[in-house]
Amino acid sequence: MSVRRALIKLWSTAKFFARPRAQGYHAGTVALPKHQIVAKAFGGGEGRPGVSRVQQGFDTARRIFASSLLSRVTTNVSSELRNRTTRQLLFGNSTPFFAFVGLSLATGSIITKEDELEGLCMEIRSSIERLHMATAEAESDLFTPNETVGIHNFTFGPYIGKGANAAIYCAKKKENNDVPGPDIQGHMPRGIFPFAIKMMFNYGVQSNAFLIMNKMANETLPARMICTQIENEEEQPAIESIINEASISLPPHPNIVSMHSALADYVPEGLPEALSEIPEALPVRLNSGGFGRNMTMFLVMKRYDTNLKAYLTERAADGSNNIKLPEMRESVLLFTQLLEGIAHINRHGVAHRDLKSDNLLLDLSMDADGRPEVPRLVLTDFGCSFHDSGGSLLLPFRTRHTDRGGNPALMAPEVINATPGQFAVIDYSKSDAWAAGAIAYELFTGRNPFSPEPGGSGRALLNSRTYLEKDLPPLPSDVPDVVTRLVYALLARSPNKRPSAELAADVLQLHLWAPSAWTKRVDSPLPSSSEVLQWLLTMTTKVLTTDSYGGRRSQAEYQLISSFLRRIKLERIRAALSFFQK
Ligand SMILES: Nc1ncnc2c1ncn2[C@@H]1O[C@H](COP(=O)(O)OP(=O)(O)OP(=O)(O)O)[C@@H](O)[C@H]1O
């Protein structure tokens, strides 16, 4: 039997399982706990025939939100209006609901006690959470039941690019009538190749699926499903428990790369442009001069249109690269999405540690009139990330061999200046927030002051190890005052003086959507809790009653609002409001 046939045999008899996010997974049975929650909300996972699962998620979220809200409103709102409101929340047009919210608030009938206000915030959070889960559920149906999962399920399309650790290809799920072999070249629209597959370069880890998974576990953090191969059944419980320990759950989020699955498999033959672009990463079987191992990890992601670095760059006729800045509002929206993504990962005990504009992918889309909408921004490339099950994001730093993360030029001062010692730790709790402050410069001026100048002297304007806050370059005068102050605050040298990503995201969300009277920098009194709640209710209603976010704003804007509502807390909103008063 040839080696290749032997490998194929081994593969076809192999079993697969996924880590806890897809517990008990056997070839093709997608069963994620977080999706089971959604299934419950749909009524036992059966769903209603003819109604999409996302739509059902919307309906459920609306119904729950409506009933919890209505149960809290005193009876001085007519029952007829109440019934109409419930109908509208469930079936569409939200105008009567606004009338209802307005009327009930005007008559002071909405609860005002502090604990009940927090309770209502909790209900808003859980309604929006259901909505997110419904969307994530719809995105995850990649494999059909009883399908044997492997890289053979995909057709590779054009080569997208490479970094230091991986090559990225367009890809699509193989259809039964597809011609076998990755032989398609040229630039293909996303409709044909909706996925991007990241093939990691594996030079050092032997061709064993479990060892590869273990070594490259960080890359898989956002994956909704992890598939690995085991060769005999007795090994399964041990392997599962090791993967369970090593893995943490990073739930899907609109500002985190959508990663369908991660799988270890053999490097396939005939990858487009492999011999010219990544010859050294290929195994000897495919290139006699290659250094790669036969097997590696593949990450199956949604395919995005570009990254932020490329988006901010325009190719001039003479071949040079010019800076192309977006409109101010778009830059603020991109900055807010970046902070929402960071807030999400930090809240789940993950520090990215390698945030830079080429690790931020963008989804570009057009509105109904063919005008470009605000792009959706996602964080990607978790290869350098650090995750801490305790959630404190403190890394013991006993020796200088401890890996500090990504590019030293872009490390926060507390990371680059940390010194090892018996009880020393590196504090990553706000290092991604610092990186967001540096990236904000790129959004508003086209240049990150801590990045080495491209093509020029190779030196950066500022050194994160030694800079002084007063040396931070001024931002253009048209950047809103609160955004300028926030960028400076994020770049404070001391993490104790720096806002968390969550607080910074709250400040920007208030700047974008709150009544302007609250966010003027004057000594006016802060809004009362019930005023804040009135506003939150209106926003929640708008998100829940705007089917599939198809309203006046772009999808990215609705997603931003719902990310905010998904994690709101009254006390944090008060803290964010006080930032405007400083
Ligand atoms: N899902 C995707 N859709 C479209 N393009 C992508 C996708 N993922 C990555 N890319 C492109 O490929 C490039 C390299 O990807 P990535 O940064 O993940 O590789 P890497 O080898 O880990 O990079 P680094 O050198 O920063 O470690 C990205 O900058 C991006 O432009």
Q: Secondary structure of 496-508 in the HEC alphabet?
A: HHCCCHHHHHHHH
Sorted by sequence, the CB contacts under 8 Å of residue 92 that are 6+ apart come out as 545, 547
**Is it the case that residue 107 has pLDDT exceeding 70?**
no
What is the enclosing helix (H) or strand (E) of 162?
Answer: strand 154-162
In short, whether 166's Cβ falls inside 6 Å of ligand 1 is yes
163 C-alpha to ligand 1 centroid (Å): 6
Model pLDDT, residue 390: 82
Name the 3-class secondary structure at 196: strand
In short, whether 534's Cβ falls inside 6 Å of ligand 1 is no
Helix intervals (H) in 107-170: 114-139
Atom 19 (ligand 1) nearest CA? 163
393 C-alpha to ligand 1 centroid (Å): 25
111 C-alpha to ligand 1 centroid (Å): 49
Predicted confidence (pLDDT) per residue in 496-545, tens digit: 999 999 999 999 999 999 998 888 766 667 788 888 888 888 888 888 77
Residue 329 vs residue 88, higher pLDDT: 329
Q: Are strands 195-200 and 15-17 parallel, antiparallel or unpaired?
A: unpaired
Residue 355 vs residue 33, higher pLDDT: 355
Q: Which one of 277, 361, 385 would you pick to mutate in the ligand 1 pocket, going by the greatest count of ligand atoms within 8 A of its CB?
A: 361
**Model confidence band, residue 120 (pLDDT cutoffs 50, 70, 90):** confident
Q: Residue 391: how many CB atoms within 10 A of its CB?
A: 14
Model pLDDT, residue 127: 76
Average pLDDT over residues 246-264: 84
Q: Which one of 312, 381, 382, 407 would you pick to mutate in the ligand 1 pocket, going by the greatest count of ligand atoms within 8 A of its CB?
A: 381
* pLDDT averaged over every residue in the chain: 77
Model pLDDT, residue 13: 32
**Model confidence band, residue 81 (pLDDT cutoffs 50, 70, 90):** very low
259 C-alpha to ligand 1 centroid (Å): 13
CATH-assigned architecture of domain 312-513: Orthogonal Bundle (1.10)
Predicted confidence (pLDDT) per residue in 294-329, tens digit: 999 999 999 999 999 999 997 666 667 788 899 999
**What percentage of residues in the chain have a pLDDT greater than 90?**
43
Residue 270 vs residue 138, higher pLDDT: 270
Name the 3-class secondary structure at 398: coil
Atom 31 (ligand 1) nearest CA? 307
Between the CA atoms of 491, 495, 496 and 497, what dihedral angle is there, to the nearest 10 degrees? 0
Ligand 1: atom nearest CA of 358 is 29
pTM of the model: 0.81
Average pLDDT over residues 143-167: 85
Which of 39-53, 409-423, 469-483 is the least confident region? 39-53
The ranges assigned to domains in the chain are: 151-303, 312-513
Model pLDDT, residue 495: 97
28 C-alpha to ligand 1 centroid (Å): 27
Sorted by sequence, the CB contacts under 8 Å of residue 47 that are 6+ apart come out as 53, 56
Q: Which CATH superfamily is domain 151-303 in?
A: Phosphorylase Kinase; domain 1 (3.30.200.20)
Kindly state the DSSP code that residue 413 receives in the 8-state scheme: H
In short, whether 307's Cβ falls inside 6 Å of ligand 1 is yes
**Is it the case that residue 380 has pLDDT exceeding 50?**
yes
Q: Using an 8 Å Cβ cutoff, are 411 and 464 in contact?
A: yes
Average pLDDT over residues 355-374: 90
Phi/psi region, residue 546 (left: phi>0; alpha: psi -120 to 50; beta: rest), is beta
Model pLDDT, residue 482: 95
Model pLDDT, residue 296: 95
**Model confidence band, residue 195 (pLDDT cutoffs 50, 70, 90):** very high
Q: Is the ipTM of this complex over 0.90?
A: yes
Model pLDDT, residue 343: 97
In short, whether 19's Cβ falls inside 6 Å of ligand 1 is no
Predicted confidence (pLDDT) per residue in 274-298, tens digit: 999 999 999 999 999 999 999 999 9
In short, whether 168's Cβ falls inside 6 Å of ligand 1 is yes
Average pLDDT over residues 170-198: 72
Atom 30 (ligand 1) nearest CA? 307
Which of 113-117, 187-191, 262-266, 357-361 is the least confident region? 187-191
Q: Using an 8 Å Cβ cutoff, are 579 and 128 in contact?
A: no
In short, whether 359's Cβ falls inside 6 Å of ligand 1 is yes
Model pLDDT, residue 576: 92
Atom 1 (ligand 1) nearest CA? 303
426 C-alpha to ligand 1 centroid (Å): 27
In short, whether 381's Cβ falls inside 6 Å of ligand 1 is yes
197 C-alpha to ligand 1 centroid (Å): 10
**What percentage of residues in the chain have a pLDDT greater than 70?**
68
| List 59, 265, 354, 432, catalytic entry | 354
Predicted confidence (pLDDT) per residue in 436-494, tens digit: 999 999 999 999 999 987 766 778 999 999 999 999 999 999 999 999 999 999 999 99
Average pLDDT over residues 367-389: 90
Ligand 1: atom nearest CA of 356 is 26
309 C-alpha to ligand 1 centroid (Å): 11
Residue 492 vs residue 214, higher pLDDT: 492
Cα 444 to Cα 450: distance, rounded to the nearest angstrom: 15
**Is it the case that residue 23 has pLDDT exceeding 60?**
no
Residue 33 vs residue 359, higher pLDDT: 359
**Is it the case that residue 416 has pLDDT exceeding 60?**
yes
Model pLDDT, residue 439: 97
Q: Using an 8 Å Cβ cutoff, are 345 and 432 in contact?
A: yes
Average pLDDT over residues 420-445: 96
Ligand 1: atom nearest CA of 302 is 1
Model pLDDT, residue 513: 93
**Is it the case that residue 108 has pLDDT exceeding 90?**
no
Model pLDDT, residue 153: 87
Ligand 1: atom nearest CA of 307 is 31
In short, whether 258's Cβ falls inside 6 Å of ligand 1 is no
Model pLDDT, residue 210: 79
**Model confidence band, residue 122 (pLDDT cutoffs 50, 70, 90):** confident
Name the 3-class secondary structure at 282: coil
**Is it the case that residue 561 has pLDDT exceeding 80?**
yes
User: How far from each other are the two terminal CA atoms of the chain, in whole angstroms?
Assistant: 75
**Is it the case that residue 261 has pLDDT exceeding 80?**
yes
Model pLDDT, residue 465: 95
Ligand 1: atom nearest CA of 201 is 21
Name the 3-class secondary structure at 222: coil
Is 354 known to be catalytic? yes
Q: Which one of 162, 168, 278 would you pick to mutate in the ligand 1 pocket, going by the greatest count of ligand atoms within 8 A of its CB?
A: 168
